[in-house]
Amino acid sequence: MAETVKLTIDGKEVVAPKGMNLIEAAKLVGIEVPHYCYHPKLTIAGNCRMCLVDTGMPKLDKDKKPELGPDGKPVIMFAPKLAIGCNTTVAEGMVVHTRTPKVQKAREGVMEFLLINHPLDCPICDQAGECRLQEFSVDYGKGESRFVEEKVHKPKQTKLNAKITLDDERCILCSRCIRFMKEVAGQDCLGFVNRGSYSTLTCYPGQEPKTNYDLNIVDICPVGALTQTDFRFEQRVWFLKETKSVCPNCSTGCNTVLWSREGVVYRQTPRDNDAVNQCWMCDYGRLNFKFINDPTRLTSPSVKSAVYGERVNLTWLEATRQITGKLKAAGTIAGIASGRATTEELFLFKKLVGDLVDIVPHTGEADGKLLQADRNPNTAGAKLTGCATGKLPEILEGIKAGKVKTLIVLGEDLDEELAKKLELLVVIDTLPTKATEHANYVLPGTTFAEKRGTFINGKNRLQRFNAAIPPVGIARPEWQTLTALLGASYAAIEDVFADMARTLPALAGLNLSKIGDLGVELKIEQPAVQPVSQAAEAVAK
Amino acid sequence: MTIPSELERHIDEIITHYPTKRAPVLWLCHLLQDHFGFLGQEQVEWIATKLSLQPINVWEVVTFYPMFTQKLRGKFHIKVCRTLSCHLAGSQKLLERLKDLGADFTVDTVECLASCGTAPAMMINDEHYDSMTPERLDKIVADIKRTGTLAKEPIAKPLPAHPLEKRVLLANITKPGYTGSLADYEKEGGYQALAKALTMKPEEIVNEVKNSEIRGRGGAGFPCGLKWSFLAKNTGKPTYLVCNADESEPGTFKDRQLINYDPHQLLEGILISCHATGAKVAYIYIRGEMPHGANVLINAIAEARAKGYVGKTAEIYVHRGAGAYICGEETGLIESLEGKRAYPRIKPPFPAIVGLFGSPTVVNNVETLSNIPHIVKNGAAWFKAMGVPGSTGTRLVCVSGPVKRPGYYEFEMGKLTMRQLIEDVCGGVTNGKKIKGVIPGGSSMPVMPANNLDVPLDFESLRKAGTMAGSGGIVVLTEDVSIVDATLNVSQFYAHESCGQCTPCREGTLWMEKMLHRIKDGHSRPEDVDLLFEVADNIDGKTICPLGEAAAWPVKAFLKNYRSEFEKACNKNG
Amino acid sequence: MATRYEMEMIDSAARAHQAFEEELHGEKLIVNMGPSHPSTHGVFRMVLELDGEEITNCWPEIGFLHRGDEKIAENMTYTQFIPYTDRLDYLAPLANNVAYAYAVEKLCGIDVPVRCKYIRVICAELARISSHLLGIGAMSMDIGAMTVFLYTFKQRELIYDLCETICGARLTTSYTRIGGLANDMPESFIPMCRKFIADLPATIDETDKLLTRNKIFIERNKDIAVLSREDAINYGATGPILRGSGVEHDLRKANPYGGYENFQFDIPTGTVGDCMDRYLVRMEEMRQSIRIIQQALDSMPGGEWNAPEAKIVLPEKQAVLTKMEELIHHFINVTQGINAPVGEVYFGAENPKGELGFYIVSKGGGTPHRLKIRAPSFVNLQLVPLLCKGHMMSDTVAILGSLDFVMGECDR
């Protein structure tokens, strides 16, 4: 159990864990101490001087006990100079003032200094609307400028690397990016050159940031010095709707925020979750969202018309009727699900298809930080719902041999030759693939940005995500499609989850509300996935 | 680009002086620049590879220190000091003589060269010139042009003692035939204190120094023994002693003399202090603009090593700076020694706990360390008997300005007033003008107005008078000096030397400089006087290191004491 | 007159039987008046139950001009809401602007310079004159005196010219800002205004001559819709209606705001509380407004017209384009609004139609949590059933005219 310390901030009593700094301690009681260079996940720099506060300790008498004043309270000796809150640890009996005229004057002074050489870029700067310089200037700075000299000029609009644009005039030299690249991303490539007021942030030519975590410096830059090049001039942030989501690009499941407007997603940023991704996400995941608004998205159910030879659009009603009819008449049904599908979808898919089902593994190289080798976000969910059986080779063999004639595919591609061999191929997907080209029926699905659902990440954490934009065309969330194919009567996704929670013991007692924004760790005891050779042996026996 | 094997051998030897791969960066930059004449991409990348660093780490350092250049300079690099005392003594006239000299010459202004008593001072390559006149300068340039070489400039002779002085540290330098060699030093009783110290327990030495009540002579005046006692013990890490020979405070030029004339006194002090603090390695951080001083020390260390002094109980290495006043700040110095930009550290933790290479470190001034042999030899009581309570012992002061006898003097602290020093010792003002004010401890200390000069020269009296003893650099300003001009000159110094790490100093010093330019050039407004004060006040007390105060105090003091001059300048343009 | 008794029939069979049994009796007639009706002064609907010519019951219906202003306010910054205040009492937009500005300034705890106050006083009084001119003109026209309408509207045109001079718009003035005004009063305004108030008394006198001792006008107005003091207070009536019933309550004197305490003027009150009194009160108020404007123009100070509050008032454009702090403050002020303190305020101003009040609940930030508008017309309209009952059908226009409401602020 961590020890705690009692101190007073602006007259409020605070109980803070030992070792906590004053900025965090003030946050505990809802007091904001403005700061730029401090970041809870990086080392302390202490150079912006914005978090200056007045600190005092009880005066100790010769027995090292607090001396009491005439009012019976300890006499407080205030330090002669203001101290920076980020580097001051809480101490028993400490008294901190963050609102006195002395502190206000210090903040106004520091703010003024930060602005004297700052370019008048607000009208063209992407950071406007989420710029800490603007916000603290209005909240803590002066309203009028007294600077009439020429500002220091530095390189503007330079390419730090392909993903990031650097504007040195806007930089307030807080060194967050330098510390991040060195301490977290692991590539010590940024630094300051020149001296004094001419100090400039840069990287050595040819040694620009090359990690999978470069774009995090755009997040942590408090001003518009580092901006994401593909978001440059795209949108003003106050027009964007923020939707809490989870990254679907690997089994880490970094918590994210989708920024969208009128059905278009413009960018993704990480969300704080100390149990999963702290406050970072990798560039691979961050940049992989353009497919959501791709113009070739599937928008309507369609059937490969025998008469016309090309695809014909159907209504959902008609498509469902035809497919359910054909499935009833079919023999063995096999299913290929996706590790990118949500737990709810996999649960329903398993019900629809039965035992002959498996997911398609997708792997890549893990980067030792957040990006895992397993590029499916919901492998654990597939295992839990029984969709990850290891039978994929068997299924593909079965199709080749002609034993499996009916296949439903959820969100994956299929070899062209195999697709042609099937009598009935139903594909539920979002973008055109070889499978959708040759499928008898194509049912349009939704990306992770357009539906609600849950993923279970590689550490068995159940996390939920929300819909940011409406589906394209008349596409529907897959759980609705599967409900219709099952002929079930789930009215809302909560009902699907409730059924799941009833059926799968690991989810007992949970619902989508209880999961919350940070997810819940599940206790899962799973039967091991049967390896292929054992299954084949069993069949052979 | 190829590195000759001799050079690489030297580099490899230097690298052994340090426990980390990054610390030798400054040395390698010096050596490569001396060889190639500049530090371009090839050189930067070679150093990075050699030291297993990233190129940005080296490039950061190259661009931070003005002595390094990324482009080839002329064969003869003329550096004219532009700071206060030299400026008032006419460095501008020298610069006017140095126009259109041709491709062989590069002319630059540099900040205080620590030779203010013989202003105006300048350097050409590694040669140092004192009391330069336009005529002499013309001759030197002509000689260079004629011969294509640079003649060696002899080091000035030591100043003789004034009757009112009490020379302890400077006792040897005027002895006839004294060269500062080990033999000469031992002849005068040198290294006996070291022998005595090695028989004492470290705590005993620390106590002796504590009892002597000697206060740091670098500028802050912190009690030396007390500082030593803060050193963390039993950390499992080595302890380091660092000698701060980065004398850059404008108006100060005392450490230069101690190094040039009696280096072994300093070395003996360092060795004794190492024994007292448990340090096994000591570094002398000497400013880059004293190449002669660095060589003197390197040779003296070699002599002492041959005699078995250095290398037995402690190792001493010389580390050259490269033109940054901020390296005079102890944590800035430590960062620079570690091979980084000289960004002072936030405190806590203090160097005594976490210092050089993360280990307990103590940083002491040259003069402070030079006192240690005498304290150990003669005892704390002897030291305490000199000076006044609270300011024991002797100290070197440096006087510059239009006085009859500018220069360095050693006195018992508190036994002379400022007026006595200027009038009696320095012979009073030469140009027939009245004194307007005196800066008592380097340009960072508030100026003393002319009507307040009867203050004894000790720490407490000066503090009570609203200023500080500082580094002992005394600059006399007479009534012909424009205070606006002097403030501008000093502000330019701080703006140039600001490391740029923290907001108030980085932005505020340049802002003050720009405002003072406007005020001097007649483009200012009446409200600029108060604005200037407020800006200085906003820097004061808000910065990581004392350079903020150093930049703010002179401006505030000049404004306070000579406000009418500023108002007149601001009202000129309406 | 024949006695009248009322009876309720269960169904048509019972009614037929009753008709056969009893002597002739009549049925009440339900007449719908409005919402599109030239005399209802906006989209106002009254369902009248008539017994012959006599109104036995009256159900007013409002809400036809409801635009959701108060809900809209929760999504707007305080400055963005100012144009919505123009459209409350759209016959006196400047007065609404002034009332709203004072309400938000009270929330923020800031005070505007004297010059700003005096300019706002002039605006409010011009709005009062404009509103009363229209009230009297429209009422007279409804009653049949059509000429007066033209005379008063001629003067209203001149007031529109003044509005255009001071802020560039005739009706959609949006002239005040939080902490000041959109722009200073132009120099050209002053002689124009002086000329206007010099010429106006002639029109008022002319109207007076045409109406006040006009037999028909008196017949139509005297002792019609008498509102007692008690009823006026109990129903929450404010403005000329309240004062017409003899209650000497005017917020400009009772809770002085905006510099009104520095001006000399009288509060006209009626004695009977009938339509005539209300008409007379309005006539006299116009004369008093002229007095106030005269004094304000004569003692107009120079200096700033915006409060020196850099966090609330937009900086000068020249500064915004050349100075960093001003650019940032302009940016945040416009995109996020002012950072109003947490709290609740109510501010009521004496508008031409009565007390216009703004009740603002702020949870901090640039948009109000709740902005309730106490519209005088909304409250005054409660009197319609009370006043109409017992009068004749043709009296409705006189009554509605004398209540002088406007649906813009009633429905919001």
Domain with residue A447: its CATH number is: 3.40.50.740
Of C326, C331, C333, the CB nearest to A128: C331
A122–C328 CB contact, under 8 Å: yes
Residue B29: pLDDT over 80: yes
Residue C249: pLDDT over 80: yes
Chain A residues at the B interface, defined by Cβ less than 8 Å, are 44-50, 52, 81-82, 84, 87, 105-106, 109-110, 112-114, 116-117, 146-147, 149-150, 152, 172-173, 188-199, 202-205, 207
C315–A143 CB contact, under 8 Å: yes
Domain boundary among A48, A80, A113: A113
Using DSSP, state whether B220 is helix, strand or coil.
Answer: coil
Q: Which residues in C lie closer than 8 A to residue A143 (C-beta atoms)?
A: 309-311, 315, 325-326, 329
* Contact status, residue A45 vs residue A29, Cβ threshold 8 Å: no
- The confidence score (pLDDT) of residue B281 equals 96
What integer is the mean pLDDT of C88-102?
95
Of B515, B518, B542, the CB nearest to A52: B542
What integer is the mean pLDDT of C268-282?
93
Distance from C-alpha of A426 to C-alpha of A375, rounded to nearest angstrom: 24
- The confidence score (pLDDT) of residue A1 equals 54
Q: Which residues in A lie closer than 8 A to residue B497 (C-beta atoms)?
A: 196
- Return the closest-CA partner of residue B76 out of B104, B46, B43, B55: B104
**Residue C5 pLDDT grade (very low, low, confident, very high; cuts 50, 70, 90):** low
Distance from C-alpha of B392 to C-alpha of B378, rounded to nearest angstrom: 14
Distance from C-alpha of C351 to C-alpha of C357, rounded to nearest angstrom: 9
A149–B538 CB contact, under 8 Å: no
Q: HSE of B479 in the Cβ direction (CA atoms, 13 Å)?
A: 7
**Tokens 């704080």 sit at which residue?**
A272
Q: Which residues in B lie closer than 8 A to residue A199 (C-beta atoms)?
A: 500, 506
Residue B221: pLDDT over 70: yes
Give chains near C: 3+ CB pairs under 8 A: A
**Residue B574 pLDDT grade (very low, low, confident, very high; cuts 50, 70, 90):** very low
Of A116, A120, A138, the CB nearest to C332: A138
Of C325, C331, C332, the CB nearest to A142: C325
B506–A116 CB contact, under 8 Å: no
Domain boundary among A78, A113, A148: A113
Give chains near B: 3+ CB pairs under 8 A: A
Strands A241-246 and A255-261: antiparallel
- Return the closest-CA partner of residue C107 out of C183, C181, C182, C178: C178
Residue B130: pLDDT over 90: yes
* Contact status, residue A176 vs residue B534, Cβ threshold 8 Å: no
Question: Start-end ranges of CATH 1.10.10 in chain B?
Answer: 5-64
- The confidence score (pLDDT) of residue A533 equals 44
B509–A152 CB contact, under 8 Å: no
**Tokens 């050193």 sit at which residue?**
B231
Distance from C-alpha of C389 to C-alpha of B134, rounded to nearest angstrom: 111
Residue B464: pLDDT over 90: yes
* Contact status, residue C129 vs residue C286, Cβ threshold 8 Å: yes
Indicate contact of B with C: 3+ CB pairs under 8 A: no
A196–B498 CB contact, under 8 Å: yes
Tokens representing C244 are 């017409």
Question: Start-end ranges of CATH 3.40.30.10 in chain B?
Answer: 76-147
Indicate the average pLDDT of chain B: 94
A173–B500 CB contact, under 8 Å: yes
A147–C335 CB contact, under 8 Å: no
Q: Which residues in A lie closer than 8 A to residue B56 (C-beta atoms)?
A: 188-191, 202-204, 207
Strands B105-110 and B76-81: parallel
C329 contact A CB<8A: yes
Distance from C-alpha of B571 to C-alpha of B573, rounded to nearest angstrom: 5
Of B60, B64, B507, the CB nearest to A116: B507
What integer is the mean pLDDT of C130-150?
92
Q: Which residues in A lie closer than 8 A to residue C366 (C-beta atoms)?
A: none
Residue B484: pLDDT over 60: yes
Helix H or strand E segment including C322: helix C317-322
Q: Which residues in A lie closer than 8 A to residue B44 (C-beta atoms)?
A: 204
Minimal Cα–Cα distance from A64 to chain B, Å? 20
B24 backbone dihedrals φ, ψ, rounded to 5°: -70, 0
- Tally the domains of chain A: 2
B542–A197 CB contact, under 8 Å: no
Total count of residues recorded for chain B: 574
Say if A470 falls within a structural domain. Answer: yes
* Four-way CATH pick for B182-385: 3.40.30.10, 2.60.120.650, 3.40.50.300, 3.40.50.11540: 3.40.50.11540
Distance from C-alpha of C58 to C-alpha of B153, rounded to nearest angstrom: 114
C325–A115 CB contact, under 8 Å: yes
* Contact status, residue C84 vs residue C99, Cβ threshold 8 Å: no
A199–B497 CB contact, under 8 Å: no
B437 backbone dihedrals φ, ψ, rounded to 5°: -170, 165
Q: Fold for B76-147, please state it.
A: Glutaredoxin (3.40.30)
A145–C321 CB contact, under 8 Å: no
- The confidence score (pLDDT) of residue A535 equals 41
| Residue A89 structural domain | 4-113
Class of CATH domain B387-478: alpha beta
Tokens representing C87 are 């459209």
**Tokens 């007649």 sit at which residue?**
B522
B348–A87 CB contact, under 8 Å: yes
Say if A532 falls within a structural domain. Answer: yes
Mutate to test the interface with A, among B43, B54, B523 (most CBs of A within 10 A): B54
Q: What is the DSSP letter of A145?
A: -
Q: Which residue does chain A place closest to B539, by CA atoms?
A: A109
Alpha helices in C175-239 (DSSP H): 189-211, 215-221, 229-234
B59 contact A CB<8A: yes
Q: What percent of chain C has pLDDT over 70?
A: 96
- The confidence score (pLDDT) of residue C2 equals 59
Residue C123: pLDDT over 90: yes
C331–A122 CB contact, under 8 Å: yes
Minimal Cα–Cα distance from B42 to chain A, Å? 12
* Contact status, residue B113 vs residue B246, Cβ threshold 8 Å: no
A129 contact C CB<8A: yes
- The confidence score (pLDDT) of residue B142 equals 93
Question: Start-end ranges of CATH 1.20.1440.230 in chain B?
Answer: 483-571
Domain boundary among A72, A94, A113: A113
Q: Fold for B5-64, please state it.
A: Arc Repressor Mutant, subunit A (1.10.10)
**Residue B60 pLDDT grade (very low, low, confident, very high; cuts 50, 70, 90):** very high
Residue C16: pLDDT over 90: no
Q: Which CATH architecture has domain B483-571?
A: Up-down Bundle (1.20)
- The confidence score (pLDDT) of residue A531 equals 41
Q: Which residues in A lie closer than 8 A to residue C339 (C-beta atoms)?
A: 138-139
A138 contact C CB<8A: yes
Q: Which residues in B lie closer than 8 A to residue A202 (C-beta atoms)?
A: 56
A144–C315 CB contact, under 8 Å: yes
B324 contact A CB<8A: yes
- Return the closest-CA partner of residue B376 out of B167, B184, B181, B195: B195
C324–A135 CB contact, under 8 Å: no
- The confidence score (pLDDT) of residue A540 equals 41
Q: What percent of chain B has pLDDT over 70?
A: 99
C328–A144 CB contact, under 8 Å: no
A30 contact C CB<8A: no
Query: What secondary structure, in 3-state letters, does A433-463 show?
Result: CHHHHHCCEEEECCCCCCCCEEEECCCCEEE
Distance from C-alpha of B372 to C-alpha of B267, rounded to nearest angstrom: 10
CA angle at A434 for the pair A428 and A439, rounded to the nearest 5°:
50
ipTM greater than 0.90, yes or no? yes
- The confidence score (pLDDT) of residue A534 equals 43
More reliable by pLDDT, C34 or C148:
C148
Say if A84 falls within a structural domain. Answer: yes
Of A122, A147, A238, the CB nearest to C327: A122
Tokens representing B249 are 């405070």
Minimal Cα–Cα distance from B474 to chain A, Å? 27
C311 contact A CB<8A: yes
Distance from C-alpha of B508 to C-alpha of C285, rounded to nearest angstrom: 61
C325–A122 CB contact, under 8 Å: no
Of A46, A147, A193, the CB nearest to B346: A46
Flag residues of chain A having pLDDT under 50.
528-541
A152–B346 CB contact, under 8 Å: no
Q: Which residue does chain B place closest to A150, by CA atoms?
A: B514
Minimal Cα–Cα distance from B484 to chain A, Å? 18
Residue C97: pLDDT over 50: yes
CATH number for A79: 3.10.20.740
